Structure 1
Amino acid sequence: MKKAIIEFENFSFRYRVQKLPSLTEINLKIYEGEKVLIVGPSGCGKSTLANCINGLVPFSYSGVTEGTLKIKGQNPAELGIFGLSKLVGTVLQDTDGQFVGLTVAEDIAFSLENDCVEQAEMKRRVEETAETVELSRFKGHSPQALSGGQKQRVSLGGVLVDNVEILLFDEPLANLDPATGKYAMELIDRIHSNSEATVLIVEHRLEDVLHCKVDRIIVMWEGRIMADTTPSRLLSSDILKKAGIREPLYITCLKYAGCEISAQDRPENIRSIALEGLEKSISAWYEKKEPQPAGEVRERLLELKNISFGYENNNTVLKGVNISVNKGEMVGIVGRNGAGKSTLSKLICGFEKPSEGSVFLEGKCIDKDSIAERAQKIGLVMQNPNHMLSKPMLFDEVALGLVTRGWKQKELEARVFECLKICGLYEFRNWPVSALSYGQKKRVTIASILVLKPQVIILDEPTAGQDFRHYTEFMEFLLKLNRESGTTILMITHDMHLLLEYTQRAVVMAEGTVVADDVPASVLTDDDIIQKASLKRTSLYELAIRAGISDSRSFVQHFIDYDRRGRFNG
């Protein structure tokens, strides 16, 4: 019988600066060799729970603790942060903050150097670990020069080399393209299968994590454990809806078709779910599809003509890019990490100048316009919130753009408060920015742009780190803004759910070029485009194939239309 390696008993924790506890009466046992997923909305306590396990609570974040916590039968407070690091290895969401070496090999070797391991043994273990995380040919590279997925593997190597017994992943999918995220889950699964390590994953993207098997899912809600169950039981219950967590799209589609789902149907994965007897219901729902009206002809707003650019003379990032965006469109820009998506946004905003080609706004070439002049009509929300924050207090950060434009205090406060409510930040209006989570900081940067109501908004990974409730609230706000005021919105994203649910077009980039410009349903059912751009088949495509529906593209489009009608009418 396996032993419990992590034990919480009547455990509560309150941060020193807060009145209410972040964790309340936690009773939880995680056993040796288990693979456990921890989910829940922002602020539910899942990050605090993880921080108690890896020692950041109480060694970095002080507070009041009640009850007991044992890691491998020992008190973490007595082990100390160094002792805990030999048991628990953490791969952070922001991998850049975890690097200490100039090369991949140095970074992996860091803990061995601290332990004064003999050089020959150190080299052997670094070689072995680099091979495990599939980075053998990158050992001499700088971690900062690698892609997002490769950076994550460097961080993983840095904790694996110590032969830790518990691996803790903090939102491992947050900054990865779909194909890389899928690969990351498969790599974690292989490491779990080939070792005796206990694996804990804290993540919002439930469907993506369930690409590979997990033993249990812990659902957190308001500092308590709402559910501790198997994936099959969770997905056949209403717990996800109550907790505000997005269920897999194929589950939503089956519910739209009136199908009953039980734990015996193995619904944790589109490949495992039993569809026998459900095909007729799925087909009947699909056959009720309504013809969609032709889209209205809109005036062209933003145009990129023959754009080429490279940060170095011999390193071309963009090659002959041509994109047109009409007024009032919501367009998704997708592709693998390093495809040139973020560079494209910098060229539109004037942070960089193209080596060839021009950018036009309302038919006028804006190549000679300054960044400030472009900012009057184009707003950019960057992927990393720390690159945009400049004020210590949240209210002042969101109000900054209005202050520089000379707004009076009363009108300024009304506009800022309205925007904070929309972005789910009103209750934090008097907080310092430093006290906010990564996801909350992301919402602050979005609010600081939205408050200015620009003509074009470019959002780089707008939903990264957001729970489903805040994701939905924010995206519905963008949709309302788009429909009622005609604001044109460009979203650079790895989130295929966002692409399907909210955008009208998908511009797909690969190797610095545009390889597709089509409706999302066509893009995510085209295997050639998916492979070129490191995207991932939507599970709706897989559902259509398994249900015997030949036109998978039409099936996916029907789901999009049906889902949108439900949201708009609701």
Structure 2
Amino acid sequence: MGKPIIEFENFGFKYRSQVNPTLYDINLTIEEGEKVLIVGPSGSGKSTLAHCLNGLAPNSYKGDITGSLKIKGESVATQDVFERSKLVGTVLQDPDSQFIGLTVGEDIAFSLENDCTSQANMLDRVEEVSHMVDMEGYLDSSIHQLSGGQRQRVALGGVMVDDVDILLFDEPLANLDPATGKHAISLIDRIKKETNKTVVIIEHRLEDILYRTVDRIIVVNEGRIVKDATPNQLLATSVLDDNSIREPLYIKALKYAGCEITPEIQPENINSIQLYSCKNQLVEWFESVNFDANSKHVEPGLELKNVSFSYQSDQEIISNVSFSISKGEMVSIVGKNGAGKSTLSKLICGFEKPSAGKILLGGEEITNNTIKERASKIGMVMQNPNHMISKHLIFDEVAFGLKLNGITEDEIKERVEKTLKLCGLHPFRNWPISALSFGQKKRVTIASILVMEPEVLILDEPTAGQDFRHYTEIMEFLIELNHLGVTIIMITHDMHLMLEYTPRAIVIANGEKIADDTAVNILTDEVIISKANLKETSLFELAIRAGFKNPREFVQRFIDYDREVRRTWQ
């Protein structure tokens, strides 16, 4: 047994704005040097548990505590946020919200300046920490010129400079492309091993976190700890599935094939799992599942012809991009952070004008149409919900666009309530938006666009921050819209979403289209994966390890089968 560093004992927390507690009877001990993952569905209480650990609750998020929390053997009941920050360093889901300095060096040094550290010692410490987070060559760079992964590393440096004992990561993968996410997990793992810091990670994307070793996984639901186990122990149970948490895809495939998952076969990673007892069952399952390779292409929908765009005349962001999306298609646009995906969506919506090329909708050119003219046919849901929200209450936010268009009160009420039900928000319709989690806010912004009934719907990371059940509910709702003829375009880093819901994907790298193919073909092409910072699916690796001659077909059959299984949830 190691030495305890975090001790929750009979711990509970109730926000003052709510009737019932968010956390109940939490008993949890984390030892020095452990790496612990906390998972749970949206609204389960995992973020509140983190806020209690870093002191934001009850200092910033007011509420009442029962039980006790000790860090390094001492009660923290009377500590303020500043005192707690010397023990627990937090890297937020959105690193932009915690930057202070204008350059990388200034931001990492901020805490040292507050502590009146001497100039010489400050420079040495900043250099040491920047090297640790792989940012030593960027100390004079503006933070706003960095990629998403680089900004996250700066945020990590900003909390590590204090030499805190505990590093807390709040959904570190939410805004990163797949390859950058892998690098982030590797970096966290390396720092943990080099410094023996205690690491606590909150994340929906369990399989991606398990790219590197985790000591324990804590499953939280309805304010209580449901399970506390090693990854191998947990993956041998149905706890994840029972609590709306996505199991690793290779585990799900093995379970569909009827394979017995036990801790002894080491299921925590696709590279460690022992498959000798499962191969025959995988083959039998594969042969029993039908494969439908047909894809539909109907009347013209959205078309880009040789579109280029520059923010500055000497730097082209989009270069000669052409593609056509048929009416009623559902397509992913994928690529690394900064590839030009979001710029493409701005061009389609009219927020920016192309410097060359044409944009057509339904066969009619809309290149010079105004934003308002396009808004009646094209809706966009932005990646950060805080950039879209303008009202205090959920109902008012979703109704806002309808009111601007002069819709009657009766029709507004009917359409808003229907949309809120479909998005899983109806029970919260009279809540203030400020009381919602990031994932819940995301659903509000999706609802505010869906209620307008657009012909083309563009979603930038539609499922970021969603647990597996809400992810499925939102995506199945989008499927329903798609079947009614709405064209769905999703800009995403989520390779699972790309595989499961979009038969076709367009890949953007450095402002150019480098691929337009089936999602399965793209995620099994090493060259495209490398160029676009994507990530090979574990299903493909499973098929190769199991000896399938056509691993791509195995992946496709799993996707088709899994989609039908999850539709029974609706």
**TM bucket normalised to smaller:** over 0.9
Query: Residue in 1 aligned with 2:552?
Result: 553
- The residue correspondences of 1:372-383 to structure 2 (distance < 5 A) are 372-383=372-383
Deviation (angstroms), 1:241: 1.3
Deviation (angstroms), 1:67: 0.8
Supply the AA of the counterpart residue of 2:398.
Answer: V
The separation in 2 between residues aligned to 1:535 and 1:348, in whole angstroms, is 24
Per-residue CA deviations over 1:369-389 (Å, capped at 9, x if unaligned) read 110010010000011111111
The separation in 2 between residues aligned to 1:168 and 1:106, in whole angstroms, is 22
Supply the AA of the counterpart residue of 1:411.
Answer: E
Report the more deviating stretch, 278-287 or 516-525: 278-287
Query: Which secondary structure state, in structure 1, belongs to the residue aligned with residue 301 of structure 2?
Result: strand
Query: Which secondary structure state, in structure 2, belongs to the residue aligned with residue 108 of structure 1?
Result: helix
Query: Residue in 1 aligned with 2:473?
Result: 473
Q: Where in structure 2 are there 5+ consecutive unaligned residues?
A: none
- The residue correspondences of 1:25-424 to structure 2 (distance < 5 A) are 25-292=25-292, 294-424=294-424
Query: Which secondary structure state, in structure 2, belongs to the residue aligned with residue 327 of structure 1?
Result: coil
Supply the AA of the counterpart residue of 1:480.
Answer: E
Per-residue CA deviations over 1:104-137 (Å, capped at 9, x if unaligned) read 0000000111111111111011011111110111
The separation in 2 between residues aligned to 1:568 and 1:392, in whole angstroms, is 34
Deviation (angstroms), 1:568: 4.5
Residues 291, 560 of structure 2: 8 Å contact kept:
no
Deviation (angstroms), 1:13: 0.8
Query: Residue in 1 aligned with 2:509?
Result: 510
The separation in 2 between residues aligned to 1:295 and 1:337, in whole angstroms, is 29
The separation in 1 between residues aligned to 2:64 and 2:400, in whole angstroms, is 36
Query: Which secondary structure state, in structure 2, belongs to the residue aligned with residue 77 of structure 1?
Result: coil
Supply the AA of the counterpart residue of 2:446.
Answer: I
The separation in 1 between residues aligned to 2:296 and 2:53, in whole angstroms, is 54
Deviation (angstroms), 1:566: 3.0
> RMSD of the alignment, in Å?
1.1
Percentage identity across aligned positions? 62
The separation in 2 between residues aligned to 1:510 and 1:240, in whole angstroms, is 35
Query: Residue in 1 aligned with 2:447?
Result: 447
Deviation (angstroms), 1:293: 5.6
The separation in 2 between residues aligned to 1:109 and 1:466, in whole angstroms, is 34
Per-residue CA deviations over 1:48-74 (Å, capped at 9, x if unaligned) read 111111010111112111111111112
The separation in 2 between residues aligned to 1:139 and 1:293, in whole angstroms, is 51
Deviation (angstroms), 1:85: 1.0
Report the more deviating stretch, 168-177 or 287-296: 287-296
Q: Answer yes or no: is 1:527 the counterpart of 2:526.
A: yes
Deviation (angstroms), 1:287: 2.7
Deviation (angstroms), 1:7: 0.5
The separation in 2 between residues aligned to 1:556 and 1:200, in whole angstroms, is 33
Query: Residue in 1 aligned with 2:535?
Result: 536
The separation in 1 between residues aligned to 2:454 and 2:296, in whole angstroms, is 23
Residues 11, 65 of structure 2: 8 Å contact kept:
yes
Per-residue CA deviations over 1:471-497 (Å, capped at 9, x if unaligned) read 1111011111111x1111000000001
Residues 476, 567 of structure 2: 8 Å contact kept:
no
The separation in 1 between residues aligned to 2:566 and 2:188, in whole angstroms, is 36
The separation in 2 between residues aligned to 1:291 and 1:94, in whole angstroms, is 40
The separation in 2 between residues aligned to 1:344 and 1:445, in whole angstroms, is 20
Supply the AA of the counterpart residue of 1:171.
Answer: E
Deviation (angstroms), 1:565: 3.3
Residues 240, 246 of structure 2: 8 Å contact kept:
yes
Residues 3, 31 of structure 2: 8 Å contact kept:
yes
TM-score (norm 2): 0.98
The separation in 1 between residues aligned to 2:194 and 2:370, in whole angstroms, is 55
Residues 166, 198 of structure 2: 8 Å contact kept:
yes
The separation in 1 between residues aligned to 2:325 and 2:242, in whole angstroms, is 38
Deviation (angstroms), 1:242: 1.2
Per-residue CA deviations over 1:168-224 (Å, capped at 9, x if unaligned) read 000000000000001100000000011121000000000000100000000001000
Deviation (angstroms), 1:401: 1.1
Per-residue CA deviations over 1:505-561 (Å, capped at 9, x if unaligned) read 010111101111111110000000000000000000110110011211111111112
The separation in 2 between residues aligned to 1:435 and 1:78, in whole angstroms, is 25
Deviation (angstroms), 1:363: 1.0
Query: Which secondary structure state, in structure 1, belongs to the residue aligned with residue 30 of structure 2?
Result: strand
Q: 1:181 to 1:309 in 2, by over 3 A?
A: same
Deviation (angstroms), 1:290: 2.7
Per-residue CA deviations over 1:217-242 (Å, capped at 9, x if unaligned) read 00001000000111011111010111
The separation in 1 between residues aligned to 2:382 and 2:58, in whole angstroms, is 32
Supply the AA of the counterpart residue of 1:548.
Answer: G
Q: 1:293 to 1:116 in 2, by over 3 A?
A: closer
Per-residue CA deviations over 1:371-427 (Å, capped at 9, x if unaligned) read 001001000001111111111221111001111111111121011011011111111
Q: Where in structure 1 are there 5+ consecutive unaligned residues?
A: none
Q: 1:564 to 1:61 in 2, by over 3 A?
A: closer
Report the more deviating stretch, 403-412 or 26-35: 403-412
The separation in 2 between residues aligned to 1:363 and 1:187, in whole angstroms, is 48
The separation in 1 between residues aligned to 2:48 and 2:231, in whole angstroms, is 23
Q: 1:145 to 1:480 in 2, by over 3 A?
A: same
The separation in 2 between residues aligned to 1:416 and 1:186, in whole angstroms, is 44
The separation in 2 between residues aligned to 1:492 and 1:213, in whole angstroms, is 30
Deviation (angstroms), 1:289: 4.2
Deviation (angstroms), 1:280: 1.2
Query: Which secondary structure state, in structure 2, belongs to the residue aligned with residue 6 of structure 1?
Result: strand
Per-residue CA deviations over 1:306-334 (Å, capped at 9, x if unaligned) read 01111111121110100100011000000
The separation in 1 between residues aligned to 2:189 and 2:519, in whole angstroms, is 30
Supply the AA of the counterpart residue of 2:176.
Answer: L
The separation in 1 between residues aligned to 2:478 and 2:294, in whole angstroms, is 22
Supply the AA of the counterpart residue of 1:523.
Answer: I
Aligned length: 569
The separation in 1 between residues aligned to 2:567 and 2:31, in whole angstroms, is 45
Residues 68, 77 of structure 2: 8 Å contact kept:
no
Residues 7, 27 of structure 2: 8 Å contact kept:
yes
Deviation (angstroms), 1:286: 1.9
The separation in 2 between residues aligned to 1:346 and 1:231, in whole angstroms, is 42
Residues 14, 21 of structure 2: 8 Å contact kept:
yes
Query: Residue in 1 aligned with 2:492?
Result: 493
Residues 385, 442 of structure 2: 8 Å contact kept:
yes
Query: Which secondary structure state, in structure 1, belongs to the residue aligned with residue 78 of structure 2?
Result: helix
The separation in 2 between residues aligned to 1:86 and 1:366, in whole angstroms, is 55
Q: 1:292 to 1:315 in 2, by over 3 A?
A: same
The separation in 1 between residues aligned to 2:260 and 2:200, in whole angstroms, is 31
Report the more deviating stretch, 184-193 or 81-90: 81-90
Query: Residue in 2 aligned with 1:434?
Result: 434
Deviation (angstroms), 1:569: 6.2
